[in-house]
């Protein structure tokens, strides 16, 4: 109903502008090409009105398209949910545990972070996704993950149709010999199909097959990553906060035990926090169920500790491998290639020996600022972006360098 009300009542007409972006244009183009070619090829290969199997195949194909578009547009237009501008907790004493957002002129609720692209504090922000031109957060996490599941399934079905269509249409046109292979694309079949399978149709089917297989692999990997996050009830930003918390405890030998507060101890319980029968996730995006040994502000207090501690505000790394700044560097390993951050933020080239102050990261990639010379700093230069984790090694902490980049922190 949220999806329908977005368009029927036109309350969010300005949100339609999200479609005018390279991410949705590419995503919708891939969906349109694969769906259209699969429908046309299914008519050639398995005419739906002749057999029960053909009817089921055609209905499933239409079903994939509808479900994919439904979840895609919901992820885009329903949005992640935003903290109200100027928000304050009901208990004024809780403000000492919260960070203040100058952009939104209010406090950041637990698990919320400020998105520079959306220019709002996002509820349970995971990341800003360019493919939906919106953030992935509290309200649209289920829709986004469902889209990541349905897209590979639909593309796999379409790929089977493409392969079977090319096989059946070319089978009688290909003559195999001991030394030669002759392909006659103009040969006439004994039974003419409802639609001709010409050379352009073959080329279009082959192109759609490549898109379908590529989407299945790439989006399937993203689905696995998102499911790992959901089953731990943890976002990618919170994973970095947890990593820095353990590093802080180890460095100062405080003896304290850091427990991630939002992991409820059961994958099923964590799963139900996102996926519900109604489609609306549990909670209001401000108050969250927590581990018995934690409270609502356990993680925000840890963030304040890290903010006050210049040593862990940004972690210093030194480049041990050259990196040319490619978005998907195959030379850095398959995991780095397939798990490249799904974001519009830039990549920064590295040369061996460069120093970087990392402010956040994932298992395979890190985000931070390259330490520049004094002349570059005076000129106002700043080099900030993502780089492969395998290209750097952690080194000593430079408090002075951290002072020059005190505004670099995880929003």
DSSP code per residue over 153-181? HHHHHHHHHHHHHHHHHHHTTEEE-SS-E
Domain contains 257: yes
CB 77 within 8 A of CB 3: yes
Domain contains 96: no
**Res 408: pLDDT:** 38
Confidence of residue 94 (pLDDT cuts 50, 70, 90): very high
Co-location of 322 and 358 in the same domain = yes
Cα separation, 144 vs 75, in Å, equals 5
Domain contains 6: no
Phi and psi at 315, nearest 5°, equal: -100, 130
- Residue 215's Cβ-side half-sphere holds a number of Cα atoms within 13 Å equal to 31
Co-location of 148 and 220 in the same domain = yes
Co-location of 228 and 356 in the same domain = no
Reading the block at residue 395, the tokens are 């080194």
DSSP classification of residue 397: -
Cα separation, 117 vs 18, in Å, equals 12
Which tens digit of pLDDT belongs to each residue from 140-174?
A: 999 999 999 999 999 999 999 999 888 887 775 66
Total domain count for the chain?
A: 3
Domain contains 20: yes
- CATH code at 351? 2.30.30.40
Co-location of 44 and 167 in the same domain = yes
Comparing 404 with 204, the larger pLDDT belongs to 204
Which residue, 280, 310, 340, sits at the end of a domain?
Answer: 310
Co-location of 369 and 294 in the same domain = no
**Res 400: pLDDT:** 39
Domain contains 408: no
Co-location of 197 and 48 in the same domain = yes
Is a pLDDT exceeding 80 seen at residue 251?
no
Co-location of 225 and 143 in the same domain = yes
Which residue, 208, 232, 256, sits at the end of a domain?
Answer: 232
Which domain covers residue 352, as residue numbers? Answer: 314-394
Is a pLDDT exceeding 50 seen at residue 44?
yes
Longest dimension (CA), the chain: 85
Distance between start and end Cα atoms, the chain: 32
**Lowest-confidence segment of 120-134, 242-256, 295-309 by average pLDDT:** 242-256
What mean pLDDT is predicted for residues 341-346? 81
Which tens digit of pLDDT belongs to each residue from 181-207?
A: 444 444 334 444 555 677 888 899 999
Domain contains 134: no
CA nearest to 237, candidates 21, 80, 390, 78: 80
What percent of the chain is predicted at pLDDT more than 70?
85
Cα separation, 383 vs 349, in Å, equals 9
**Res 156: pLDDT:** 97
Co-location of 151 and 227 in the same domain = yes
Domain contains 87: no
CB atoms within 10 A of CB 91: 7
Co-location of 323 and 291 in the same domain = no
Length of the chain: 411
Helices 141-171 and 199-231 pack at an angle, to 10 degrees, of: 150
Co-location of 320 and 304 in the same domain = no
What mean pLDDT is predicted for residues 214-221? 93
Residue 15: Cβ-neighbour burial (10 angstroms; 0-12, 13-18, 19+): middle
What mean pLDDT is predicted for residues 23-28? 95
DSSP classification of residue 233: T
Confidence of residue 291 (pLDDT cuts 50, 70, 90): very high
Choice among 115, 129, 155, 391 that is catalytic:
129
Cα separation, 215 vs 223, in Å, equals 12
Which pTM does this prediction carry? 0.81
Q: List b or e across 379-390, with b for residues whose CB sees 16 or more CB atoms inside 10 angstroms.
A: eeeebbbbbbbb
**Res 230: pLDDT:** 94
CB 385 within 8 A of CB 346: yes
Cα separation, 175 vs 128, in Å, equals 52
Co-location of 196 and 242 in the same domain = no
Which residue, 310, 343, 365, sits at the end of a domain?
Answer: 310
Co-location of 46 and 192 in the same domain = yes
Reading the block at residue 28, the tokens are 């919708």
**Res 304: pLDDT:** 85
Catalytic residue status for 129: yes
CB 356 within 8 A of CB 387: yes
Is a pLDDT exceeding 50 seen at residue 401?
no
Residues contacting residue 56 through CB under 8 Å, at least 6 positions apart: none
* Helix, strand, or coil (residue 51): coil
* Helix, strand, or coil (residue 290): coil
CA dihedral 124, 128, 133, 136 (to 10 degrees): -30
Domain contains 33: yes
Is a pLDDT exceeding 80 seen at residue 3?
no
**Res 320: pLDDT:** 93
């Amino acid at each position: 109903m949220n999806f329908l009300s977005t368009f029927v009542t036109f309350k969010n007409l300005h949100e339609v502008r999200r479609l005018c972006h390279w991410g949705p244009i590419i995503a919708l183009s891939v969906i349109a090409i694969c769906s259209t070619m699969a429908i046309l090829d299914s008519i050639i290969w398995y005419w739906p009105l002749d057999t029960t199997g053909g009817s089921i195949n055609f209905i499933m194909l239409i079903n994939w398209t509808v479900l994919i578009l439904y979840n895609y547009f919901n992820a885009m237009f329903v949005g992640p949910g935003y903290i109200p501008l100027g928000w304050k907790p009901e208990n004024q004493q809780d403000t000492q545990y919260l960070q203040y957002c100058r952009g939104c002129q209010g406090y950041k609720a637990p698990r919320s972070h400020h998105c520079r692209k959306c220019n709002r504090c996002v509820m349970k922000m995971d990341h800003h996704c360019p493919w939906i031109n919106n953030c992935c957060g509290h309200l649209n996490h289920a829709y986004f993950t469902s889209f990541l599941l349905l897209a590979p399934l639909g593309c796999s079905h379409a790929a089977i149709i493409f392969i079977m269509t090319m096989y059946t249409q070319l089978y009688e046109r290909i003559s195999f010999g001991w030394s030669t292979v002759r392909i006659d694309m103009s040969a006439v079949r004994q039974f003419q199909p409802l639609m001709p399978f010409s050379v352009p149709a073959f080329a279009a089917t082959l192109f759609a097959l490549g898109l379908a297989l590529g989407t299945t692999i790439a989006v399937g990997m993203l689905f696995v990553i998102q499911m790992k996050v959901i089953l731990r009830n943890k976002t990618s930003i919170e994973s970095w906060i947890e990593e820095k918390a353990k590093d802080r405890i180890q460095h100062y030998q405080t003896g304290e035990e850091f427990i991630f507060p939002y992991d409820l101890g059961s994958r099923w319980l964590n799963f139900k926090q996102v996926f519900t029968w109604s489609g609306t996730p549990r909670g209001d995006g401000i108050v969250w169920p927590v581990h018995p040994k934690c409270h609502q502000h356990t993680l925000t207090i840890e963030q304040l500790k890290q903010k006050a501690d210049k040593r862990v505000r940004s972690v210093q790394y030194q480049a041990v491998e050259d990196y040319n700044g490619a978005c998907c560097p195959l030379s850095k390993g398959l995991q780095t290639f397939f798990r490249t951050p799904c974001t519009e933020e830039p990549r920064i080239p590295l040369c061996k020996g460069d120093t970087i102050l990392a402010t956040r990261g994932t298992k395979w990639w890190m985000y931070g600022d390259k330490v520049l010379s004094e002349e570059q700093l005076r000129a106002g230069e700043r080099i900030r972006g993502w780089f492969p984790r395998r290209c750097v090694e952690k080194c000593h902490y430079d408090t002075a360098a951290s002072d020059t980049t005190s505004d670099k922190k995880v929003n």
